[in-house]
A and B are shown apart, each in its own frame.
Chain A
Amino acid sequence: MESIISIKGLSKTYAEGFTALNNIDLEIQRGEIFALLGPNGAGKTTLISIICGIVNPSCGDVKVNGHNIQRDYRTARTEIGLVPQEIATDAFETVWAAVRFSRGLFGKAPDPAYLEKILRQLSLWEKKDNKIITLSGGMKRRLMIAKALSHEPNVLFLDEPTAGVDVELRQDMWRMVRGLRDSGVTVILTTHYIEEAEEMADRVGVINRGELVLVEEKHVLMKKMGEKELSLQLPEPLQEIPQILADLPLTLSSDGYQLVYRFDIKSEDTGLTEFLRRLNAANIEFRDLHTRESSLEEIFVNLVHGARLEREEQLSKEVQE
C-alpha cells in the first residue's frame, strides 16, 4: 500500500532540554485509520503538531503525499486537516463564517455547496447562522471537524477527538470517521481511550516517552500479543488450588467458585489439553466455561509497563556499574 505520510528520523527537543520525540520512523498508508496510542505526555500531540507545521522539528524528515513539510510546506499543508485536542474557536463568529474562514485560509476558492454538504453531514446546517458561543460542547467539536474538512484535505488528524464527549456523541463520531475513511480520507487519531482505537483503527502505533514502541495491524497486534482466559464456573467452591494444578497459570476467585486459566494464543502449545486432563484427574467438575481475549487496553498497559520495567532494569544496572 502507498504511504501518504512518511516520517524518518524525527526528533524534537524543546528549548528547556525536554526530548518529546526521539528518532521516530513511521509510514501512514493512504486511506487507513491509524490510531496513535500513548499515555499523557508520550509525544502524540507533538508528533501531530510537527506534521501540521505548528511545532518545528529538531531533526528528521516528514513528507505528506511526497511533499516535504518544510521545503514544500504550502502543498503539504493543503493536504492536511487538523482537529486539535482543545476546542478553540472564535466564540462570537457564526458557524458559517468559521467554516468559510477555514476554507479561505487554506487557499481554496469559496464553495458554498461543499460547505453546506459538510455542515449537513455533521448535523450543523440548521445552526449555520448561530454564533459559536451558543452551540453545545458536542456541536462545537463537530464544528472543529467541519473546519478541518472545509478545504477538502486528504489527511485528517484528530487529536483526542472524543475526550470529554458523551457515549452517544462518541459513537456518532466513530461512524463519521469511518465514513470519512470510506470516502478516501486518511485518518490519524490520537487517543488514550483504547476502546476508540480498538473500535476504529486499521493499524495501531504505540508511543511512549517520545519513542514509537510498536506499529502493527490492530488484529495482528491483538493476535500476537493477546492473552486468552478460560474461566470455569465450579459447582462446589475450592478452598485452594489443588496440588496437581499448582504449577499451572491459574487463579482462584476469592469465593472459590471460579477458576481462571491464562494462556498465550500465539503459543503452539497452549497447555489447554494438559489443564483439562489434570482437572479430570483431580475430579474437579465445572458447570460452565467461557473464554475471553485480552483487550487492546491490556496489551497497551503491558507494553508501556514493559518498557518502564526495562528502563528501570537498565538504570539499576548502570547504578550498580
Chain B
Amino acid sequence: MNWYGIGAIYKFEMSRTWRTLMQSIASPVLSTSLYFIVFGAAIGSRMGDIDGVSYGAFIIPGLVMLALLSESISNASFGIFFPKFSGTIYEVLSAPVSPFEIVAGYVGAAATKSMVLGLLILLTARFFVDYEILHPLWMLTFLALTAVTFSLFGFIIGIWADDFQKLQVIPLMIITPLTFLGGAFYSISMLPEAWQKITLFNPVVYLISGFRWAFYGVADVNLTLSISMTLLFFALCLMTVWWIFRTGYRIKT
C-alpha cells in the first residue's frame, strides 16, 4: 500500500479547502444558516410540531443532509475533474498508486471536508434552534456513510464530465431537487398517498429519514431500509468506480 501516495493526494485536496475557506466552508455554513433563521427561527415558530418535533428542529437533519450531499459531490467531482482539465492528471496516472489509493485520497478528502462542514452546520444551528441528538453514534455513522457514498458519486461525475457545465448539471438539476422533495422540509406522511408512494423512489428520502431518526427517533421509513438503501447506493458507486479504472473510461486511452 502506498500510504505516502494516499497522504499526498489527501493533503493536497485538503490544502485546497484551506486556501478557499470562504468558498468551501464559510459560504455553505452561511447559506444553511439562512434557512435556520428563515424557516427555523422566523416562520418555524408559527408552524406546528411534526411528529412531536418543533419545525425548526425538524428541518435540521434535512438541511445538514442537503449541504452534505451537495458539498460531497462538488468537492469530489472538482477534485478529480480539475487535474483532468489542467493536465496535471498525468502525474497521478504515472505514479505508483493503485486505483484504490487514488480513490481513497480524493474521496477521503472530499468526505472529510463535507463531514467537517456538516458538523459545523450542526453547531451553527444551535445558535438559532434547540435540538437534540438521541443516537449520536448513529448520527455520525449516517453522516460518514453519506459523505463517503456521495463523494464517490461526485468522483464518478468528475471523471464523466468533460466540461464545467456537466460538472454542475447533476448536483443542480438532480440532487438538489431530490433533496428538497426528499423530506428535508416535511415528513412524507404529510403528502397525499399517491405522492408518498412516488416519493419512495427518491433515494434521498432514505438518507434524510435515517438521519432524522438518529436525532429524534422518528423516521418516515424503516431504519433498516434506510441503511440498506444507503449501502446499496454505496455499492453501486463502488462498482462504477471499479469499472472506470478497469476500462480507463475518460482517464486512460
B52 beta carbon closer than 8 Å to chain A: no
Complex contact B252–A90 (CB within 8 A)? no
The stretch that binds A, out of B2-10, B129-137, B143-151, is B2-10
Complex contact A74–B12 (CB within 8 A)? no
The stretch that binds A, out of B84-92, B107-115, B207-215, is B84-92
A24 → chain B, closest Cβ, in Å?
A: 17
Q: Please, how many residues of chain A have a CB less than 8 angstroms from a CB on the other chain?
A: 35
From the candidates B5, B15, B98, B253, name the one contacting A105 in the complex (CB within 8 A).
B5
- Which residues of A sit under 8 angstroms from B88, Cβ to Cβ? 88-90
Contact with B along A97-130 (1 / 0, CB 8 A): 1001111111111000000000000000000000
A107 to B9, CA, bound (A): 11
Query: Which B residue sits closest to A53, measured CB to CB?
Result: B94
A55 to B90, CA, bound (A): 10
- A55-B253, A107-B4, A108-B4 given as contacts; is B15 within 8 A of A97 (CB)? yes
- Which residues of B sit under 8 angstroms from A55, Cβ to Cβ? 252-253
A107 to B4, CA, bound (A): 5
Query: Which A residue sits closest to B87, measured CB to CB?
Result: A88
Complex contact A74–B2 (CB within 8 A)? yes
B43 beta carbon closer than 8 Å to chain A: no
Interface residue ranges of B64-95 to A (CB < 8 Å): 86-88, 90-95
From the candidates A52, A53, A56, A109, name the one contacting B4 in the complex (CB within 8 A).
A109
Most interface-central of B8, B87, B98 (chain A CB within 10 A): B8
Query: Which B residue sits closest to A20, measured CB to CB?
Result: B253
B170 → chain A, closest Cβ, in Å?
A: 25
Complex contact B91–A102 (CB within 8 A)? yes
Most interface-central of A84, A101, A102, A103 (chain B CB within 10 A): A101
Query: Which B residue sits closest to A90, measured CB to CB?
Result: B88
- Which residues of B sit under 8 angstroms from A54, Cβ to Cβ? 90, 93-94, 252
Interface residue ranges of B1-57 to A (CB < 8 Å): 2, 4-5, 7-9, 11-12, 15, 19
- A88-B90, A89-B88 given as contacts; is B15 within 8 A of A106 (CB)? no
- Which residues of A sit under 8 angstroms from B98, Cβ to Cβ? 74
Complex contact B2–A107 (CB within 8 A)? yes
A76 to B96, CA, bound (A): 8
From the candidates A15, A105, A147, name the one contacting B92 in the complex (CB within 8 A).
A105
A53 to B96, CA, bound (A): 9
A101 to B15, CA, bound (A): 11
A5 → chain B, closest Cβ, in Å?
A: 14
A80 to B98, CA, bound (A): 16
A86 beta carbon closer than 8 Å to chain B: yes
A302 → chain B, closest Cβ, in Å?
A: 33
A3 beta carbon closer than 8 Å to chain B: no
9 A-B pairs with CB atoms under 8 Å apart are A52-B94, A74-B2, A75-B96, A77-B96, A92-B19, A101-B11, A104-B5, A108-B4, A147-B91
The interface of chain B, by Cβ under 8 A from chain A, is: 2, 4-5, 7-9, 11-12, 15, 19, 86-88, 90-98, 248, 252-253
- A82-B90, A104-B8, A107-B97 provided; 4 other pairs, C-beta below 8 A? A52-B93, A73-B96, A77-B94, A86-B87
